[in-house]
């Protein structure tokens, strides 16, 4: 086995490994999903985004690994699964970034300028994702099956895949800057729903956005540097980013739901607190 083929095989197994992360996260948070999502009678946009970020990544993971490991010679099946993977990847990424966008809007509160800048960054990232994905679909798979060809043969299409990661990276960088800047410039007490609650949301937002930014930046490097094509390492962290987006998106949604419940059932106001009177017998004995 050549070095290039050996590296390519390692990449295929690295695309399979994130499935264990998804299963672990699913088992750990299934109770939260039942309590915060499926028990609700009326769904809204956040619930729909949750379903997309929760279940689209594992669906794309299954189809991608079927293409990589299943022994088949049906070119049409391979092509259809490859195209479906591109679409599902775009949907999951846009949904996850929207959840991150909505959570950051809450933290920005009444900072209209920062909100406008962040909205422009999100819209630009979505346009880049849609454009690059459309070009990939138009170019079609290279060779008989995309998982069977070497990275060198599909440089053109993979450069557009790198464009998807680039758009995501710039938006996540904007979120990190907005969250970090708000933490140092605007005191938590100036935000709604109480300083402690918003401080926790802001800290979690910074952790989520930073982790996504790191993995997106790594994929940008892998998809834009020629050495990754020539060494057969292309796509090493591709599937890990997709699963991480789903995991982080689910966590963000749970955080939003918990914040809503904390706001509705927060600590009682002093005017609502009633103190029991001291029994007269105790007063007389003293």
Query: What are the sequence ranges of the domains in the chain?
Result: 3-261
Provide the CA 282 distance to its chain's centre, in angstroms.
61
Please name the residue that has the structure tokens 């290039």: 4
- The 3 state secondary structure assigned to the chain is CCHHHHHHHHHHHHHHCHHHHHHHHHHHHHHHHHHHHHCCCCCCHHHHHHHHHHHHHHHHHHHHHHHHHCCCCCHHHHHHHHHHHHHHHHHHHHHHHHHHHHHHHHHHCCCHHHHHHHHHHHHHHHHHHHHHHHHHHHHCCCCCCCCCCCHHHHHHHHHHHHHHHHHHHHHHHHHHHHHHHHHHHCCHHHCCCCHHHHHHHHHHHHHHHHHHHHHHHHHHHHHHCHHHHHHCCCCCCHHHHHHHHHHHHHHHHHHHHHHHHHHHCCCCCHHHCCCCCCCHHHHHHC
> Is 80 exceeded by the pLDDT of residue 175?
yes
Domain 3-261: which CATH class? mainly alpha
pTM of the model: 0.78
Which of 82, 1, 10 lies closest to 228, judged by CA?
10
pLDDT tens sequence across 103-121: 888 778 778 888 899 999 9
Determine the average pLDDT of the residues in 75-80: 76
Is pLDDT larger for residue 83 or for residue 185?
Answer: 83
CB 118 within 8 A of CB 174: yes
- The three-point CA angle 7-246-224 to 5° equals 40
Rounded to an integer, what distance in angstroms lies between the CA atom of residue 175 and that of residue 121?
9
Residue 231 has a pLDDT of: 54
Of the two residues 145 and 128, the one the predictor is more confident about is 128
> Considering the chain, what is the average pLDDT of its residues?
76
pLDDT reading at 195 higher than 70: no
Dihedral pair phi/psi, residue 205, rounded to 5°: -60, -40
Give the chain's radius of gyration (CA, Å): 24
């Amino acid at each position: 086995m050549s070095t290039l083929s050996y590296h390519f095989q390692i990449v295929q197994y690295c695309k399979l490994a994130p499935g264990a992360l998804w299963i672990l996260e699913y088992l750990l948070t299934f109770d939260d999903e039942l309590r915060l999502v499926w028990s609700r009678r009326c769904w809204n946009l956040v619930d729909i985004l949750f379903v997309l970020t929760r279940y689209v990544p594992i669906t794309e993971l299954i189809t991608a690994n079927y293409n990589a490991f299943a022994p088949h010679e049906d070119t049409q099946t391979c092509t259809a699964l490859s195209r479906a993977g591109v679409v599902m990847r775009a949907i999951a990424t846009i949904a996850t970034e929207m959840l991150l966008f909505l959570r950051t809007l809450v933290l920005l509160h009444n900072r209209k300028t920062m909100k406008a800048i962040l909205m422009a960054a999100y819209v630009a990232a979505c346009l880049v994702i849609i454009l690059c994905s459309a070009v990939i679909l138009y170019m079609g798979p290279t060779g008989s099956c995309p998982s069977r060809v070497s990275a060198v043969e599909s440089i053109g299409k993979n450069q557009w895949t790198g464009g998807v990661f680039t758009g995501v990276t710039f938006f996540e960088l904007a979120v990190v800057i907005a969250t970090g800047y708000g933490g140092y410039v605007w005191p938590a007490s100036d935000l709604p729903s109480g300083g402690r609650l918003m401080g926790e949301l802001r800290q979690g937002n910074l952790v989520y956005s930073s982790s996504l930014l790191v993995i997106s930046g790594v994929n940008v490097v892998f998809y834009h540097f020629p050495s990754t094509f020539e060494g057969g390492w292309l796509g090493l962290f591709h599937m890990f980013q997709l699963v991480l987006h789903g995991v982080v998106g689910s966590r963000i949604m749970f955080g939003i739901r918990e914040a809503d419940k904390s706001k509705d059932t927060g600590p009682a106001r002093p005017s609502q607190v009633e103190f029991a009177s001291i029994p007269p017998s105790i007063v007389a004995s003293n």
